[in-house]
């Protein structure tokens, strides 16, 4: 069989296998959450005693940190590993590392820590692709292609969005492969998407007006842009200040186990307190985004400000506590809250606008600017909403806000890349 024929077969098999594996990982995270909190956490946590919630968060993150103490590679966030594997033309983690990462990530997300699942999903796809690369006996020179196909398949499956998955992989890990091998990434991503679509629920904007553009929404965008910019400044500054304060608590003279215990106690108790204030402060944020962009409930403006603050703190504490996961959906949830709040503020002046439009714009722009993936943000808005009012606004806003924030926060690029 010729190399291109083998690559085609590999891409198809990797996509189908990754779709199944990532769906299992996401459903496992949800099952853990339902089991730990005796039902839907948003409904049960307010009724559960604080000591029970604190026990769940603290014991779960302690288990995660004990896994990391035994194997540091379980702490990695996935995307960074895939990029390293592509640069070095070799996989930098084993199947055992991946299994521990999946367990640690599912437990982190399921117990309520504010991290996402895109990093481990990319790692799942990369490992599956690596195995098929060996099975087909492809030359080592094509290992980069196989890993790129696996990473894009994993991300397409977890987002249940094929084109978003491709562009996310290209902008983060596989940009050097776009010219010659993007076709195989498309095959892998779309086959993974089709499998995930039958098992998982994609983010869908239910109020799309398609190509009908409303000038009032586009005009309001230029008032929304300064709000988004300020919100991103606040996110970066507050997150780093919380992390700096928490890291100062870890005394160097403590043994590794003592530091692990301290981090787990501080992280677990803090996240438990945040969850008791509002269950929407924790977890990946998928439910927050889905609810806000589809107008499922009304949130007062002051409550939105509080939730934004709580989710930023929860995200920082989750990173400090070594919760295993990514930032993508967590950032989307913060952006969706900011956008929904802006829409509510605009309505208070008598303007006939719907807050969920700005929630969809804010979600895409926030993740696009902070993670520096503008193309992915635009395609995400397109695949989620199919609404020109959102897509055009995201394209304009992600460019302007990205330019405005990069002038101030260039020095933070390294930190951000380490965390995704």
pLDDT in tens, 56-96: 999 999 999 999 998 887 876 566 666 666 666 666 678 88
- Locate 234 and state its tokens: 């606040």
Q: What is the pLDDT along the chain (420 residues), one digit of tens a residue?
A: 566 788 889 999 999 999 999 999 999 999 999 999 999 999 999 999 999 999 999 999 999 999 999 888 787 656 666 666 666 666 667 888 888 989 999 999 999 999 988 888 988 998 898 889 888 888 887 888 888 888 889 989 998 988 888 887 777 665 556 666 778 888 999 999 999 999 998 888 888 888 888 888 888 999 999 999 999 999 999 998 998 888 887 666 778 888 889 999 999 999 999 999 999 999 998 888 988 888 877 888 888 999 999 999 999 999 999 999 888 889 999 999 999 999 999 988 888 888 999 999 999 999 999 988 898 899 999 998 999 999 999 999 999 999 888 766 553 444 444 343
Asked if residues 82 and 132 have their Cβ atoms less than 8 Å apart, the reply is no
Task: Using CA atoms of 296, 401, 76, 124 in order, give the dihedral in degrees to the nearest 10.
Answer: 60
Per-residue pLDDT at 296 = 78
Q: Own/partner pairs for 82-88, CB < 8 Å, 24+ apart?
A: 82/122, 82/123, 82/126, 82/147, 82/151, 82/172, 82/173, 83/172, 83/173, 85/126, 85/147, 86/144, 86/147, 86/148, 86/173, 86/174, 86/176, 86/177
Q: Which of 324, 321, 325 is nearest to 261 (CA)?
A: 321
DSSP code for 292 = H
Write the CA distances from 164 to 35, 128, 189, 315, 368, integer angstroms. Answer: 31, 20, 9, 23, 12
- Alpha carbon of residue 161 to chain centroid: 13
Q: What is the pLDDT of residue 417?
A: 40
Q: Domains of the chain, with CATH numbers? A: 3-199 (1.10.3080.10), 215-419 (1.10.3080.10)
> CA distances (Å), 203 to each of 160, 190, 317, 385, in order?
8, 16, 26, 9
Rounded Cα distance, 137 and 268, in Å: 46
What gap in Å lies between CA 325 and CA 77, rounded to an integer? 6
302 membership: H or E segment, kind and range: helix 301-320
Distances, alpha carbon 158 to alpha carbons 82, 208, 391, in Å? 16, 23, 21
For residue 83, the model assigns a pLDDT of 63
Kindly state the tokens that stand for 254.
């403590």
Crossing angle (nearest 10°) for helices 374-385 and 162-169: 180
Q: What is residue 138's predicted lDDT score, i.e. its pLDDT?
A: 86
**By CB neighbour count within 10 A (0-12 exposed, 13-18 middle, 19+ buried), where does 107 fall?**
buried
pLDDT at 414: 43
Report the C-alpha gap between 234 and 418 in whole angstroms. 20
């Amino acid at each position: 069989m010729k190399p291109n024929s083998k690559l085609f077969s590999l891409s198809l098999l990797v996509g189908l296998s990754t779709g199944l594996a990532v769906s299992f990982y996401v459903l496992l995270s949800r099952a853990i959450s339902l089991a730990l909190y005796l039902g839907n956490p948003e409904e049960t946590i307010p009724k559960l005693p604080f000591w029970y919630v604190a026990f769940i968060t603290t014991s779960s993150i302690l288990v995660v940190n004990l896994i990391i103490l035994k194997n540091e590679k379980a702490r990695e966030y996935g995307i960074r590993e895939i990029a390293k594997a592509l640069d070095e033309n070799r996989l930098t983690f084993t199947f055992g590392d991946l299994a521990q990462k999946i367990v640690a990530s599912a437990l982190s997300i399921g117990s309520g820590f504010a991290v996402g699942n895109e990093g481990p999903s990319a790692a799942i796809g990369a490992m599956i692709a690596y195995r098929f690369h060996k099975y087909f006996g492809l030359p080592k020179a094509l290992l980069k292609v196989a890993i790129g196909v696996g990473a894009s398949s994993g991300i397409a499956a977890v987002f249940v969005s094929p084109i978003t998955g491709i562009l996310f992989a290209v902008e983060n890990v596989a940009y050097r492969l776009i010219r010659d091998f993007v076709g195989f990434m498309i095959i892998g991503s779309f086959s993974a998407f089709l499998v995930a679509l039958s098992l998982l629920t994609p983010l869908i904007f239910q109020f799309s007006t398609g190509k009908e553009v409303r000038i009032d929404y586009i005009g309001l965008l230029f008032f929304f842009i300064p709000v988004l910019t300020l919100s991103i400044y606040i996110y970066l500054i507050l997150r780093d200040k919380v992390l700096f304060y928490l890291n100062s608590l870890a005394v160097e003279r403590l043994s590794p186990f003592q530091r692990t215990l301290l981090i787990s106690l501080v992280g677990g108790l803090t996240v438990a307190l945040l969850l008791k204030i509002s269950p929407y402060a924790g977890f990946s944020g998928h439910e927050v985004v889905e609810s806000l962009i589809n107008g499922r409930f009304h949130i007062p403006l002051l409550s939105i400000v509080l939730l934004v603050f709580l989710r930023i703190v929860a995200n920082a504490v989750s990173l400090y506590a070594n919760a295993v996961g990514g930032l993508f959906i967590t950032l989307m949830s913060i952006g969706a809250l900011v956008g929904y709040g802006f829409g509510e503020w605009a309505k208070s002046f008598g303007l006939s606008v719907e807050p969920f439009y700005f929630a969809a714009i804010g979600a895409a722009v926030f993740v696009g600017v902070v993670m520096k993936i503008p193309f992915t943000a635009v395609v995400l808005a397109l695949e989620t909403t199919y609404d020109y009012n959102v897509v055009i606004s995201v394209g304009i806003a992600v460019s302007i806000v990205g330019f405005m924030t990069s002038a101030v926060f260039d020095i933070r690029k390294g930190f951000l890349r380490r965390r995704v």
